[in-house]
Homo-oligomer: A and B are copies of this chain.
Amino acid sequence: MKIAALIFDKITVLDIVGPVEVLSWVPGAEIVWVGKAKGPIRAAPTGLALTVERTLDEVSDPDILIVPGGPGVRLLLEDEAVLDWVRNVHARTQWTASVCTGSLLLGAAGLLRGLDATTHWNSAAALESFGAKYREQRVIPRGKIVTSAGVSAGIDMALWLAGKIAGDDAAKAAQLCIEYDPQPPYDAGAPSKAGAAVIERARATVKDILARTLAGA
């Protein structure tokens, strides 16, 4: 089971590490870290330096494609090399999945027209500009395309996917391996729960990080 994890400069690293961590505990999983050019990239906002190990040309037929999001997605939405690769790979995958604003890339590639889909709550309008119908839902499977909500939602998505691929017991074992028994000390993880003041604060933070991250890009 070959899993292509697409990574790029200014990626939100939890978007991809969450699902890949889950799937890497499923027996037989092989992760391929793929991007436009081999070499270092930098996540945002964490600043973590990662390495792309395979170019797009070198990865043509993964069983699963995972497209994460982050500020850097904005720089790829008109990048025909990346969009072509996404379309071509998707034609052969068993599953094509996105986390957070990774769904904008699927949308830009024309894969979400007329579909219910999700993304980071703050990018719902951008998602709909590609012809998808945004829903505030954690994980949305439609055929072989699975979109998931912002950042941390990729963990839930990958557990769902692990169940489909390897069965419920393998998925449960992966959940136990990463001790995923969430107990957040607050209940503010979705716009419908956070309240107006927290939403406003989060929106300002996202705006600030996008501006600082993409300045000069």
Q: Which residues of A contact B (CB under 8 A)?
A: 12-14, 17-18, 20-21, 24-25, 27, 31, 33, 40, 45-51, 53, 100, 120-121, 138-139, 149-153, 155-156, 159-160, 163, 168-186, 188-191, 193-194, 197-199, 201-202, 205-206, 209
Contact call B47/A51, Cβ cutoff below 8 A: no
Indicate whether A175 sits within 8 Å of B186 (C-beta atoms), given known contacts A12-B21, A18-B14, A49-B33.
yes
Q: Are A184 and B182 in contact (CB under 8 A)?
A: yes
> Could you tell me if A181 and B206 are in contact, using CB atoms closer than 8 angstroms?
no
Known: A33-B47, A176-B198, A201-B169. A183 touches B138 (CB 8 A): yes
Q: 3 smallest A-B Cβ distances: which pairs?
A: A150-B179, A181-B189, A172-B188
Q: Across the interface, which residues of B come within 8 angstroms of A12, CB to CB?
A: 21
Contacts of A46 in B (CB 8 A): 17, 20-21, 24, 31
B205 and A173 contact, CB distance less than 8 A: yes
Contact of A163 among B18, B176, B180, B185 (CB under 8 A): B185
Q: A46-B31, A50-B49 are in contact. Are A202 and B182 (CB under 8 A)?
A: no
Which residues of B are found within 8 Å of A24, using beta-carbon distances?
Answer: 45-47
12 A-B residue contacts at CB 8 Å?
A17-B48, A24-B46, A24-B47, A25-B205, A31-B47, A33-B48, A40-B51, A49-B50, A150-B178, A153-B181, A173-B198, A181-B189
Residue from the set A12, A139, A201 with the largest chain B CB neighbour count within 10 Å: A201
- A176 and B155: CB pair below 8 A? no
